[in-house]
Structure 1
Amino acid sequence: MKINPSQLGQLLSAYIPKGLPVLITGSPGIGKSDIVAQAAHDAGHELLISHPVVEDPTDSKGLPFPSPDGSAAKFLPFGDLERAINAQSPTVWFLDDLGQASPAVQAAKMQLLLARRIGEHDLPPHVTFVAATNRRNDNAGVTGILDPVISRFATVVELQPTIDDWTAWAVRNNVSPELIAFLRFRPDLLSVQKKSRDIENAPSPRSWGFVARTMGVVPAELELISYAGSVGEAAASELISFLGIYRQLPSPDAILLSPDSAPIPETPAALYAISTALAAHSTEGNFDRVLTYNDRLIDAGYREFAALLARDAVRRTPELQNTHAFIRAQGGPLGQIIRGQ
């Protein structure tokens, strides 16, 4: 079953408190681990992360240790197993990259996943399993997951990134407006499955995150090299072309000086750039002027961009919802657009 990041977060928030195990599949770099970490935090659970790909079957069983008289032996838990068995507070035990683990390591997890015990050791009831894996066609070293292991999860879902979820994350984390505007203009570049085995990166939410961190760090003459190393040359070249358009547009400050007469661009790329930039510059002091320009976008027939501008501005600065300008706008065309009327 395919699921977007928002839906996955909601699913985990329902399953984790009930102790129901979830297996998440999806391509590399789309945020599976981050979503699990956020869900554990939201549920008030500790997060224990294991990487079965570097484990030995004994990691899930313990090491044999003889009794004092030498007549018997017990398996003593160590590492993550010992931490899970002795967990005193609600805990999410996250098995990351499970599909890359050997069949022997996967098989060693089966009793833990279903019976919640290994040998004479029981897992506390407040430990919940969540696992993630890439798919076999992702060139990530995944040969599959044993069917008996899969059947031990309450549900299996496939995560697919969406531009809306990525944008919401980007706005909350102060990603540069020009990158947000570009990916809105080219949402098909948010995540691209790599088809070659060449040693190069492909576009993904994770690799675009690296682009966001390097923007403003490298000089202009090195931008293409830097961004191509993160998302590949084709996507980086498109980004550079978009940045050329973005940087030639009037600055948000210039628009806000005369919102009644500032020019309104006509091309989609420029409209994405202007609306995203104005949202990033919105404050309680200038939001009335932002909304004046936004009304002109609506009058010009660019309702979608007006909605993007208003939503982004409020996401970045929730206090804008309480301004008189925004309250008034709710009773007009902007309010109808936001409500989907």
Structure 2
Amino acid sequence: MKATQLATFLASAIAKRLPVLLVGPPGVGKTDISNQAAAQAGAKLLVSHPVVSDPTDAKGLPWVGKDGKSATFLPFGEMKQAIDATELTVWLLDDLGQAQPAVQASYMQLLLSRRINGHVLPDCVTFIAASNRRTDRAGVSGILEPVKSRFVSIITLEPSLDDWCQWAFTNADIPPELIAFLRFRPELLCKFTPSADLSNCPLPRTWHNAGKILGLQLPAAIEGEALGGAVGEGAAVELAAFLRMYRELPNIDAILLDPDVQPIPSDPAVLYAVVTGLAIKANDQNFGRIARYTERLASGGHGEFATLLIRDVMRKTPDLANTPEFARLASGETGKLFTGM
């Protein structure tokens, strides 16, 4: 299931207090999607990491009573917060598959009967769990069968470039040149390669890290090596070559000043970069000029890039769909490309 679909499903499951298990390779956004779904449902998020937990974290700490003849289990940490919750709360069990069987079993009772050692979870608390797969070489030995069956559904998160770009347009850490590069080389968004070596591979998470490195504006030699450490050497070399081209692009500001005169690139890599740069800068003051450049793209045989430009503008600044310039564009020949009419 893609990220946008999964967020919608999780928000509905949260509202009905249905527990869901998410699986997928490291770094594809399972935790971020859980955060997004909790926010969409108006829920508070409580995060536990069973991989570093002890069974007492879910069961409570044994405590001798005042009479010295009895004992009880005192809740603490996330368990205490969950028991005391008075508003809709999502309890995220992150990396559950890496946890020891005894820890998994301690959460099983909470998932099924919602009570353990005399402590009862309020109705406002529900669960999401996330795990890598055994084939990911992430330390997952598996999840106990009785634990798996406690979840209403087990969903695999599938990386999607379109969903990633939609997220990236609202994230200040992701520069437009990185979005343009991954559009040009979409197969590099998620090229998970498990390895025992101390190296990274291209993943949504590691591309996010690459965006942070680009934001440092380092000298080229240092930047290249740092990017190699973020996404792996092969992907970093391709990105470096793209960046050299990107930094010699037609001036985006010049296009915005005079869209009728500036040249239309012919190289697909340059076109990806130009339309992404224009979409990032779109606002109600310059959208009319962006619309004009869009028409030139369409009439020049680059209809797919005209469509991409308008869709990206709408992702970043949806209110521009209410402008007269958008209405004029949508009602013309170019509008047929992105409205499907």
- In which range does the TM-score fall when normalised by the shorter chain? over 0.9
Q: Distance in 2 between matches of 1:268 and 1:151?
A: 48
Residue of structure 2 in register with 1:325 after alignment: 325
Q: CA deviation at 1:320?
A: 2.1
Worse-superposed segment, 12-21 or 66-75: 66-75
For the aligned residue pairs, the C-alpha RMSD in angstroms reads 1.4
Code of the residue aligned with 1:306 in structure 2: it is: A
Judge conservation of contact 2:169–2:315 (CA < 8 Å) in 1: yes
Aligned to 2:223: 223
Aligned to 2:67: 69
Shift, 1:339, TM fit: 2.0
Q: What is the one-letter code of the residue matched to 2:176?
A: P
Question: Normalising by structure 2, what TM-score?
Answer: 0.96
* Equivalence for 1:135: 133
Partner residue in 2 for 1:163: 161
Structure 1 pair 256–45 and aligned structure 2 pair: CA distance change class (3 A): closer
For residues 200 and 55 of structure 2, what CA distance do their matches in structure 1 show? 32
Compare 179-188 and 248-257 and name the one that shifted more: 248-257
1:81-116: CA deviation from partner (whole Å, max 9, x where unpaired): 111111121111110000000011111111111111
**How far apart are 1:169 and its partner, in Å?**
0.6
Once residues 166 and 146 of structure 2 are traced to their aligned partners in structure 1, the CA distance between those partners, rounded to angstroms, is 37
Q: Which residue of 2 aligns with 1:194?
A: 193
Residue aligning to 2:99: 101
Q: CA deviation at 1:212?
A: 1.1
Letter in 1 for 2:161: I
2:175·2:215 contact (CA, 8 Å) conserved in 1?
no
> Which residue of 11, 17, 25 maps to 2:15?
17
Residue 180 of structure 1: aligned partner = 179
CA displacement at 1:294 relative to structure 2 = 0.9
- By how many angstroms is 1:265 displaced? 1.6
Please name the residue that 1:35 is paired with: 33
The aligned counterpart of 1:59 is 57
Count of residues in correspondence between the two structures: 339
Query: Does the CA-based 8 Å contact 2:330-2:339 persist in structure 1?
Result: no
Residue 317 of structure 1 deviates from its aligned partner by: 2.4
| CA offset digits 1:201-233 (Å, max 9, x no partner) | 111111111111121411223221111111011
Counterpart of 2:289 in structure 1 is 289
- The AA in structure 2 aligned to 1:85 is I
Counterpart code for 2:284: E
User: Which runs of 5 or more residues in structure 1 are unaligned?
Assistant: none
Unpaired runs of at least 5, structure 2: none
Match of 1:145 in 2: 143
2:123 is the alignment partner of 1:125: yes
Structure 1 position 68, deviation (Å): 2.3
Q: Aligned-pair distance for 1:251?
A: 0.8
Query: Structure 2 vs 1, CA of residues 127 and 183 (structure 1 numbering), >3 Å: closer, same or farther?
Result: same
Code of the residue aligned with 2:200 in structure 1: it is N
Cα drift, residue 302 of structure 1:
1.4
1:207 aligns with 2:206: yes
- What is the alpha-carbon distance in structure 2 between the residues aligned to residue 140 and residue 125 of structure 1? 33
Which contiguous aligned blocks of 4+ residues in structure 1 show a shift greater than 6 angstroms?
none
* TM-superposed deviation, 1:318: 2.8
Q: Please report how far the alpha carbon of residue 193 of structure 1 lies from its aligned counterpart in structure 2 after TM superposition.
A: 1.1
